[in-house]
Each structure stands twice: as structure tokens, then as C-alpha cells.
Structure 1
Amino acid sequence: MGVVLNIENGKREAASIKDLIDLTSADMGRVNKLILSKAGSDVEMIPEIANHLISSGGKRLRPMLTLASAQMFGYSGEGHVKLATSVEFMHTATLLHDDVVDESGMRRGKKTARMIWGNQASVLVGDFLLGQAFRMMVDVGSLEALDILSSAASIIAEGEVMQLAAAKNLETTEDEHFAVIKAKTAALFSAAAEVGPVIAQATRNDRAALRSYGMNLGLAFQLIDDALDYGGTSKDLGKNVGDDFREGKVTLPVILAYRRGTKAERTFWKRAIEDNFTDDAGLEKAIGLMTRHGAIADTIGRAGHFGEIARDALAPLEATPQKSALIDVIDFCISRVN
């Protein structure tokens, strides 16, 4: 099958999160210890399933955003470690639930938890991790941080239901798709970035800047994932290439290719997405149609647009190593397709 995006060879050297990793490494060490501690339970299956996903090689970008944004405003307490761990548990719980809803077989190159332990166990362990996340939020003692993260949890669940309601609907509009990914993905990025300045008692303008940064970074991140599904590698995606197509997900590249296509092409999309004709030949044809109509390129372009909004959100803030590292994250997320 032809791959339309040059993923492997064209990454920009500057597009790295090395500075973010270096700035947060000491705190992330504490986060990782807390993750192992809070994922523990006398119920043997709980740590087995939790550690299956927690140890599977994710970058832990979201908790690093919490740590860096707290450092950025001079925070020196312990709360940012607990909030960062809460953010990671929320993300992990979402992945466990997502894999059940999407009936996914692979996650980060490994069998999903549902394939090993079943759907019921995966959902219940996700619920356990959410419970642990909220306990840590309460321990921090910031009602505002608790409000931000608990609101994000509700919004993420709403996004899941919105996506389920719109499943296989090729009449989904671009605005409707953005509403889904804003809830499903961007809300947690936004909350992760905002709670740092909140516990650092930064100004309202500073908090708003990090909230906007996180929201638009999350939108850019998800749109790049949408594009990568039709031309990336499993390493870049953390799942099998073409999974969105096989699961009948109506993502932005599909929306654009469908709307721009001929009557015959729209018939193909209906047969593929609505009637589950999503074999390798169908995926290859889908990629060809997306290439013809510029659907993948325009998805990447929209991601770049949200990336610029994220960059502009940070522009008024005082120059710090953390600010520079957060800007690098934008470039890193978008450069995954360059």
C-alpha cells in the first residue's frame, strides 16, 4: 500500500520535547513513583491491567504540561506532582474506556487490555484509576484545580457519547467533528496546562493563557493523529495504521474527502464507512481519494492553524525556559507528519 506522508525521514531536528523532558525530569521521577503507588491494589487484576498500559511507553506529555506550567510561575510545593499524576490517570482511564468502545485490538504496539482481560475488567480498572485521580486532587486542597479537572472528566465523557452518536455518519460537519475532538482530547490538554498556574496562584490572565494554549495544542495534536491514521506508522500513532478507517470513524480527512468527492466517490465512502467494507484495498482507495482532494494536507493545515493559536496564547508571557519548552511541544506535535 502506498504511504502518502513521509513520516520516517523528514522530521525537523528542532521539533523535540527534550527541553520539556529535561525541565520536568526530577518531578516526573516523583510522578512515576506515585503512579506505581496509586495503581497498586490488593485486588490483583487492578495493578496488572493498570501497569499493562501505564508501562507501555507513552510519552506522558500531559503530566509534563502540568509540571512545566507550575514551574513556569514559580510553584515550589508538592501539589503539582499529585495533579500531574491525576492527569495521567485520567488519560489512562480514557484509553482503557476508548479501547472498549472502539473495540480496538492494539495500543502502543501491544494487545489492548480488553483483548487480554476482557471489556468488563478494562472498564472497571479505568473507573478505579479515575477514583484514584480524584482522591489525589482532593489531597492537593485546591478547589479550583479540582473544579478544572473534574469538569474536564465530564467533558471527556460527553465527547465519547458525542462520537458514539455520530458514529459512521458521513454527514458529520467539520464543526461537529471539532466539537467532538475538543471534548475528547483537547479538554484534558487544556486542564493539564491550566492547573499548574492555578496552584502557583498566577494571575487570571496567565491561567487563561495556559488554558488556551492547552486547548489549541490538544486540537492540533488530535488532527495530526487523524492525518497519521492514513499515512503514518504504528510507532508514530501508538496503534495500528488505518484503525480509524477499519472502525468506521468519521475523522476530518474522511469528512473533507467525502464532501469534495464525486457521486461515485461518495458511494464508495458510504459502502466503506456505513457498511463496513474496510479491508486493505478499501484503505488504499481511501488514501488515494484523500490525496486527490487534499484532505490529509488540509487536515495538517488546520492543525498548524491551531498550533499558531497555541503559540500566540503564550506570546504575552514572560520568557522562561518553561515557556520555550512549551512552544517546542507545539512544533513537536505538528512535525510528526513532516
Structure 2
Amino acid sequence: MSTLAIATAKEVFDLLRDDLSAIEREFSNDAVSSVAAITDISDYLREGGGKRIRPSLLLLSAKAQGYSGHGMIRLGSVVEMIHTATLVHDDIIDAADTRRGRPSANTTWGNAKCVLAGDWLYMQAFRVALDERNFKVLDLLIGLTQQMVEGELLQMEKLGHSIIEEEYNDLIYRKTACLFEVSMRLGSELAGATEEVEEQMGEYGHSLGMAFQIVDDVLDLTATEEVLGKPVASDLREGKATLAVIHSLENGTDADRKAIEMVLTDQNFSRVTHAEIVSILTRNGSVDHAMGVAMRYAETARGALSVLPESEFKRALLWVPDFVLAREK
């Protein structure tokens, strides 16, 4: 990441530091249960860190529209609880051993306890959101959760199979972009924005989330295990075809397609190596294609902010797509 990007990241963090700390405290308090295992699992996941990009988007959306009340702290904790619940369930579904360079929760507590802890976090998120006394907020959160669960089920049905770009876009919207979109919309709802402005904020979140997941999928193929904090090419090993892979399936030679389909079917690199797959993707310009699509989504996100008045919070939102594109993990 460039020096300029690092400097800007620090500026954005400084802008949100106190509010993010407040969200962290709120999350810690909200995730306490009378059952010790739930509290322990929640604490372990919360302490695992992460970029807190979703609550940051909610804060920036609310503040850019003139809101400064406690609701953004409460709902910031809610979106992070929902995100954390999805990570617990993802790791169980994917039989993952690591998450952000640490053992995944299910390797310590087992699948059964982690499923229930994830369920509890979802329900607790809704309980906390109820304090807003706002049916639109609950409607957004319930719709979001349904989309994410449907996305996981759809992805499971597609494992080991090649898919087309349209199916991929639907999957990553449900898995990732939907939560980015709802985070931005919640900021609008708190600020009492017009429907037009909320739509634009939703468009920003949607496009940013699509770019974020495409970059994530490219990094899964091209970064090192040390940088990722998990095994490389996890998606291919799990039988998931991501955008660069789909591009090579559609534009490569018969031999390219056969090699990729072999890995998707086998869900391992025993017959075709990871290096061979990367070579195929590079030769077909598939990684460049995927990054080009991510850049177009980033540009769409920036364009959606034209409805906002000038402020330091709008400037931060304009910068976030650059951060997403320049990510290294």
C-alpha cells in the first residue's frame, strides 16, 4: 500500500477513533451472556480484530448526513455482531482451521457450540437494534440476514461446479455487498435522509462491497499464506469459482478449462498445482480482468456520493474505494 494510502487511512481512523472505541465497548457489553461459552466465543472473535470497515461505513454515512447521536454506536455494534455471526458460521461450513492468522473458533469450541453462539449473536443483534424503536431499521436487518443465509445456501449448491459471472455477482452481493449496503442505509435512516439520498448511500455500499469481495477473491488466489493469515487458494480448494477463475473458464483453452474444472471437482491441488492455476489466470489476463471490474465498482461507489454536502466525512468516504483496491490482505 502506498505511503499516501497509509497516511489517509490514519486520517480516517483518527476521524473515527473515539466512535470506533465506543462501538468496541458496546459490542463487548452486548455480547455478554449468562452462558460462559457464548461470552468466551464472542470475546475471542471480537479480539481477533478485523478492519471494522462495516461499522466505519455506518459512522461515516451517518456523520456525512449530519447525525451525531448514540444510535450510530448502537447500530455499529449491531452490524459488527451480524458480521461476526456470519464468520462463525462460514468457518464451520468451510471447515476452516484458521481465521485472521489464529485458530478458528470451531477448532477450539467445536462446531455445535459455535453454531449456537452464531445464532445467539444474530438474535442479540436484533435485540439491541430494537432499542432504536424503528421498524425500518429492523426491516433492513431482517432482509440483510435472509439475503446472507440464502447466499450461503446458494454457494453450497454451486460448490465444485463452474458458474457464470451473473451467478457470481449474485453470490457476492448476498455474502458481502449486502452488509456494506445496509451499513450505509442505516446511517441514512439515523440521519432522517430522504429516500433518494438513502438509495444513493445504498448504491455506494453495494458497489464498494462488490469491489471489496472481488479484491478479496483475487488476493485468495495471488497472495501468500503469511499475508492472508489462512491457506492460499482456499476458495478453489472449497470448490468455489471466483471472478478470475470464471474469466479463464470462459476465455481460456480447452486444456485451461479442464485443469480448472479438475481442481473445482477434486477440491484440492493433487492433480493440478496452485502454480499452474495462477499461470493459467495470468496468461488469460483473468486477474487483470477481475481487478478492472473491481475498479469500475469503486468508481460507481464514488459517483454515488455526489448527493452529499462537502465534509471531512464525505472526503473519507471518497477515499475508502482506493483503500479497498489497494488492499494486500
Common fold: TM-score over 0.5: yes
> Partner amino acid for 1:51?
D
Q: Percent identity?
A: 37
Partner of 1:25: 17
* Equivalent position of 1:110 in the other structure: 102
Which residue number in structure 2 is paired with residue 99 of structure 1?
Answer: 91
The one of 269, 273, 284 aligned to 2:275: 284
Q: How does 1:66-81 map to 2 (within 5 A)?
A: 66-81=58-73
Letter aligned with residue 72 of structure 1: A
1:267 maps to which residue?
258
Query: How far apart are the structure 1 equivalents of 2:87 and 2:77?
Result: 15
Deviation at 1:14, TM superposition (A): 2.9
Letter paired with 1:185: T
| Aligned mates of 2:314, 2:119 — CA distance in 1 | 34
Find out whether 1:54 has 2:33 as its counterpart: no
- Runs of 4+ in structure 1 displaced over 4 angstroms? none
Counterpart CA distance in 2 for 1:22 and 1:153 is 31
Distance 1:103 1:302 in 2: 30
Question: Which residue is equivalent to 1:324?
Answer: 315
What are the within-5 Å matches in structure 2 for residues 147-166 of structure 1?
A: 147-166=139-158
User: What pairs up with 1:116-131 in 2 under 5 angstroms?
Assistant: 116-131=108-123
Question: 1 CA distance for matches of 2:54 and 2:289?
Answer: 26
In structure 1, C-alpha distance between the alignment counterparts of 2:317 and 2:10, rounded to whole Å: 11
Structure 2 CA distance for aligned equivalents of residues 30 and 97 of structure 1: 26
Change (3 A) 1:210 1:236: farther
Secondary structure of 1:249's aligned partner:
coil
Matched-pair contact (CA < 8 Å) for 1:156–1:183: yes
Q: How does 1:218-233 map to 2 (within 5 A)?
A: 218-233=209-224
Tell me the distance in 2 between the aligned counterparts of 1:237 and 1:221: 15
Query: In the alignment, is the contact (CA less than 8 A) between 2:64 and 2:309 conserved in 1?
Result: no
**Partner amino acid, structure 2, of 1:322:** F
Q: How does 1:121-270 map to 2 (within 5 A)?
A: 121-170=113-162, 172-234=163-225, 237-270=228-261
Q: Is 1:221–1:303's contact at 8 Å kept on the other side of the alignment?
A: yes
CA distance in 1, matches of 2:325, 2:243: 16
SS at match of 2:295: helix
Q: Which has the higher helix share?
A: 2
Q: 1:49 to 1:337 in 2, by over 3 A?
A: closer
Taking structure 1 as reference, are residues 64 and 238 closer, same or farther at Cα in structure 2, changes over 3 Å only? farther
* Corresponding position: 1:333 with 2:324: yes
Shift of 1:42: 2.1
- Between the aligned partners of 1:316 and 1:82, the Cα distance in structure 2 is 26
Q: Bigger shift: 231-240 or 212-221?
A: 231-240
Q: What residue number does 2:294 align with?
A: 303
Q: Which runs of 5+ in 1 are unaligned?
A: 1-9
8 Å CA contact 1:20, 1:68 repeated in 2: no
1:137 CA displacement: 0.8
Does the CA-based 8 Å contact 2:259-2:272 persist in structure 1? no
After the TM superposition, which of the residue ranges 90-99 and 65-74 deviates more from structure 2? Answer: 65-74
Instruction: State the aligned residue count.
Output: 328
Give SS of 1:103's match.
coil
What's the CA shift string for 1:93-119, capped at 9, x where partnerless?
000011111111110000111111111
Determine the C-alpha separation between the residues in 2 that align with 1:243 and 1:12: 30
Q: CA shift at 1:296, angstroms? A: 0.9
CA contact (8 A) 1:62 1:87 kept: yes
Q: How has the CA–CA distance of structure 1 residues 46 and 142 changed in structure 2, closer, same or farther, with 3 Å as cutoff?
A: same
Q: Give the TM-score of the pair, scaled to structure 2.
A: 0.95
Give the whole-Å Cα distance in 2 for the aligned partners of 1:156 and 1:13.
35
CA displacement at 1:140 relative to structure 2: 1.1
DSSP-derived class of the 2:222 partner: coil
Q: Which moved more, 1:298-307 or 1:197-206?
A: 197-206
